[in-house]
Amino acid sequence: MPFASNSGTRIHYVLEGQGPSLVLLHGFRDSGEGWREWGYVQALQDSYRLVLVDARGHGKSDKPHDADAYTIDKTAGDIVAVLDDLGLPKAHFWGYSMGGRIGFCLARHYPHRLNSLIIGGMNPNERTGQGQGRNRMLEILMQGMDAVLAWRESSGRPLTPSERAVLMANDHLALAACFQSTLQGPGFSDILAGIQVPCFFYGGTEDAMFHGSFQEWASKVHGARTHSLEGQDHGGAFDRSDLIVPHVKAFLSAIPAS
């Protein structure tokens, strides 16, 4: 079972397929297995060596309870630790939701480790810890995973058995620490004009987290490609791999090999 180490924190990852390396980083409360659950691995493994990473606090990676362990810089450093463990100077990176926020941080601090940047369901804006919705989420997390499951099942489509298993394997205190740190803090709008690697940004038209200011900020990244998934909300834009994988493959295939 492969693990990389970032200053003593173990980061779990799995390899699938063959070809140029493509790191896949999931969203909050999920794990690397989500990419398999919703068809990404099957659709991509013949063309790419996929690196399915469990973000710290998720999956089989270490789960510290201290919010200071989840700064966005540290979570971006986890991806670099995985690349180092694999002996990869560079890789393509695809992050969804929280994984996309970490992707923006990679573009800020480690652009030399990226062949391209693909971000779905996330914007580069500042995220503050204020607001009724975020306070409620933290309250639910502190009640334990049964409360998180009940909230999740009441707020959208039913979970599949494997999704339920992944969710319930989480540590609620680790998720709370991650929520307070990785998912909060300064934004990345200041780096957009300076991003040099090829970029692809996408999200659902019904996803307010992404689509409200989508065209405005994406246009600041020189040469960025974009795609909107009509009628999809935040969860739906990830679940429908069939709608987005062809666009991502076309984007990646146009990038010269390095």
Question: How far apart are the C-alpha atoms of 229 and 222, rounded to whole Å?
Answer: 22
Asked whether the predicted pLDDT for residue 52 surpasses 80, the reply is: yes
Dihedral sign of CA atoms 104, 105, 107, 108 in order = positive
Residue 135 included in any domain: no
| Cα Rg, the chain, nearest whole Å | 17
The least confident of 85-94, 146-155, 223-232 is: 146-155
Residue 28 included in any domain: yes
Residue 205, domain extent: 3-127+186-253
Residue 165 included in any domain: no
For 135-149, the pLDDT digits (tens) are 889 999 999 999 999
What is residue 130's predicted lDDT score, i.e. its pLDDT?
Answer: 55
What is residue 257's predicted lDDT score, i.e. its pLDDT?
Answer: 81
Residue 141 included in any domain: no
Residue 175 included in any domain: no
Question: How far apart are the C-alpha atoms of 228 and 113, rounded to whole Å?
Answer: 27
How many domains in the chain? 1
Residue 180 included in any domain: no
Cβ proximity of 107 and 115 under 8 Å: no
For 182-198, the pLDDT digits (tens) are 999 999 999 999 999 99
Residue 46 included in any domain: yes
Q: What CATH number did the domain enclosing 43 receive?
A: 3.40.50.1820
What is residue 176's predicted lDDT score, i.e. its pLDDT?
Answer: 97
Which pTM does this prediction carry? 0.96
Residue 224 included in any domain: yes
